[in-house]
Amino acid sequence: MKNLLKGTKYYINRAIGIAIKCMYITFRIRYEQSLLGRSTVKFQDIRKIASKRGLKVAMLNKLQLIRNIQKDEGNYKCFATPYVHECGQMNCLWREDCLNAL
């Protein structure tokens, strides 16, 4: 039983560590955007977020990467879909890119 709890604790700590790294990247991107006066996310930053989450990044375009990140976060894969006009997520990292994609 102790070994099972140790293993579970390891994976929980690892998941928390990954979540913290992704949050750091997200906040850093938002900070850089505010300094530059723009609100779109660079493709390199999207790839970094996806790779930190352990997602496949090779051979995927921006649209596919963002939707995979949304799915991994437990959100609806709504980036650049007709749903964008009904979206109320004002703090979404992808919002500006999403609105420009349609």
Domain span at 94: 2-101
Contacts of 47 (CB under 8 A, 6+ apart): 57, 65
Question: How many domains in the chain?
Answer: 1
Q: Would you say 30 and 93 are in contact if contact means Cβ atoms under 8 Å apart?
A: yes
As averages over each run of 10 residues, the pLDDT of the chain (102 residues) reads 64 77 68 58 85 88 89 83 77 77 70
- Closest listed residue to residue 47, CA positions, set 22, 27, 84: 22
Query: What pTM was estimated for this model as a whole?
Result: 0.62
What pLDDT score does 33 carry? 57
> Rounded distance, CA 18 to CA 47, Å?
15
